[in-house]
Structure 1
Amino acid sequence: MYEVIEDATHLHNPISNQIYLIFEYISGGPIVSLNEEGKCDPKEILPESQAKHVMVQIVDGLIYLHKHKVIHRDIKPDNILITADNVVKICDFGSSKVLTSQEDFLQTSQGTMMFYPPEACTGQGQFSGTFADVWALGATLYTYVFGQCPFYAPTVPALFERIKNQELEFLQDISVSPQLKNLLTRMLRKQVGERIDLNQIRDHPWLKSAGKQVFT
């Protein structure tokens, strides 16, 4: 396949009015899929060991993207896929933005509202794209281990109000480690200046103990 793509002669195809796109096939699909209420099938909830394996790869991917001035803007469970050999893939760059300056400020919100950071829910002024991705990643991690988004409401105004003002709560019927709670709390800080960055996430004790996991 790669040889065909690299061979320039294929550009002389007599059918010149058709364009074909070739995508990688990810057999595992999304690790977790959400319904309209931001919940997943309880069977899809990840144990911490598997969540660590997934998170390490997402964080490394986002660090790479941000280094190359790409803000994803739609990190969520449905956009995180896994291959048959347990390699995690970030997909759907339809909302992403390539920064053109040293600053990473965004003017408008994009993506899925349940994963908006508080600063994107105000509709006023610029906000950091890198820290918006961090918030969305934190909400994604929360969903992986608790089976639902950290904040949900049936209407947009109510949803934004909860994202901006409701305290983060951990479900009592699902037990997670204090280290994971600490990481989630720091990723989902309401104030951008208090939010942990990607390099700090990568060095967090909870992720340091991540090992390769097999998904079945």
Structure 2
Amino acid sequence: MPPFATLDDFELGEEVAWGSLATIIDAVYKKNNKHYALKVLNKVELLKKKGVRSATVEKDALIALGTRKERHPGIVRLHHSFTDSNHIYFALDLATNGDLKALVQKLGSISINCSRYYTAQLVDAVIYLHNCGIVHRDIKPENILLNSEMRIMLADFGCAYIGSDMETPRTNTFVGTAAYISPELLARSKVNPTSPDLWAIGCTIYFFLFGTSPFMAATDYLTMKRVKNLDYTIPPECDKDVTDLIQQLLVLDPMDRLGVPPKSSPDALKQHPFFVGHDKKDFPEDSPELSSWAIIDWKRLWTTPAPPIEVGPYRTRPLDVPGTTDELWAGFESLQVTENSD
């Protein structure tokens, strides 16, 4: 990562995203005329909202990943990091095609082949992270960015865990987003540190196909309640391999989750029939199965063109959430209103 960049080295353009702690600006680095996503964090707001540790963790994770000899194409890269009296700045890869949340919401859902392709890229990037001693812990569609070639870049490492040992169980911290948080994070259980990312992958596949989290409810409290109860549905007409993969990832006991050692492994996840089919024969390079991403060729995942974006077979939530409205309004049943006599 080149040192000594300052804000004067950048020509600031439009704001492309913003949140409670950061604003993302399309900025041109004057020394090479390249566009970057300049992430601007206000120091006062970080202190008020207790976000200093999050900013530090993100920087440490991105530096650790960016300084490795072999970098992964599916992870956003930190090019510069600097501060001034009021702000912290990260110059990151610019996602010229937005993120997968916006894409899926625009279409309602994406096709099974598109879902397979983007899930495979996500799995490959996450396995790389784990091999590097990093767990993301906030995987969700809005953190899966799309570059100019419509390939993913996993971003936002503010909730990451960094450690050298991915095998020994550890006590989990309550971090992440309600709709994608795993039950072991909610319970602060002592488990394999990689397991929450695999749960989130299961939620993300579901989002690709149905346009919503499997546990979405009217409030975060109700959403997390559904997570704890494993309260979700998959319509019976859904592709059987998709259904099986989701059901093997959305498992309450992380020790029984597909991809989590020692009962399972990352290779077992990559070899699930949803990705590679049931027939393990080798397909020729011009095979229609490979070109349409009806099966995944893991060796060509980052070099072969992405599939065209197609609307999926399920455009709305498969089933209404039973009882959500009743639970939300239950607290108002005893509310009494009296007229003011004045």
For the aligned pair, the TM-score class normalised by the smaller chain equals: 0.7 to 0.9
CA displacement, residues 54-83 of structure 1 (integer Å, 9 cap, x when unaligned):
011111101100001100000001111111
Alignment match, 1:126:
190
- TM-aligned CA deviation for residue 105 of structure 1: 2.1
CA displacement, residues 193-213 of structure 1 (integer Å, 9 cap, x when unaligned):
221013322111111113741
**Aligned mates of 2:256, 2:219 — CA distance in 1:** 28
Give % identity.
24
**Aligned mates of 2:211, 2:7 — CA distance in 1:** 49
Of 250, 254, 258, which residue of structure 2 is paired with 1:196?
A: 258
- TM-aligned CA deviation for residue 12 of structure 1: 10
Secondary structure of the corresponding residue to residue 41 of structure 1: helix
- TM-aligned CA deviation for residue 192 of structure 1: 1.3
Q: Identify the range of structure 1 (40-49 vs 113-122) with the bigger mean alpha-carbon deviation.
A: 40-49
Aligned length: 202
Structure 1 residue 97 corresponds to structure 2 residue 161: yes
The verdict on how the C-alpha distance between 1:13 and 1:56 changes in structure 2, with shifts beyond 3 A counting, is closer
The verdict on how the C-alpha distance between 1:121 and 1:86 changes in structure 2, with shifts beyond 3 A counting, is same
Alignment match, 1:210:
296
Give yes or no for contact 2:108–2:210 (8 Å, CA) kept in 1: no
Give yes or no for contact 2:110–2:309 (8 Å, CA) kept in 1: no
TM-score (norm 2): 0.53
Query: Over the residues paired in the alignment, what is the CA RMSD in angstroms?
Result: 2.9
* Within-5 A mapping of 1:31-180: 31-33=100-102, 41=105, 43-101=107-165, 102-123=167-188, 125-171=189-235, 175-180=237-242
One-letter amino acid matched to 2:99: P
One-letter amino acid matched to 2:178: M
More strand by share: 2
- TM-aligned CA deviation for residue 11 of structure 1: 6.5
Alignment match, 1:37:
none
CA displacement, residues 166-211 of structure 1 (integer Å, 9 cap, x when unaligned):
4431146xx5310111101101111112210133221111111137
CA displacement, residues 13-43 of structure 1 (integer Å, 9 cap, x when unaligned):
9999747532211111112239xxxxx6361
**Aligned mates of 1:14, 1:44 — CA distance in 2:** 42
TM-score (norm 1): 0.81
Any unmatched runs of 5+ in structure 2?
A: 10-81, 260-265, 277-294, 298-305, 311-342
- TM-aligned CA deviation for residue 153 of structure 1: 2.5
One-letter amino acid matched to 1:164: K
The verdict on how the C-alpha distance between 1:191 and 1:104 changes in structure 2, with shifts beyond 3 A counting, is closer
CA displacement, residues 136-155 of structure 1 (integer Å, 9 cap, x when unaligned):
11101111111111112233
More helix by share: 1
One-letter amino acid matched to 1:199: D
Moved over 3 A (4+): 10-21
Give yes or no for contact 1:26–1:84 (8 Å, CA) kept in 2: yes
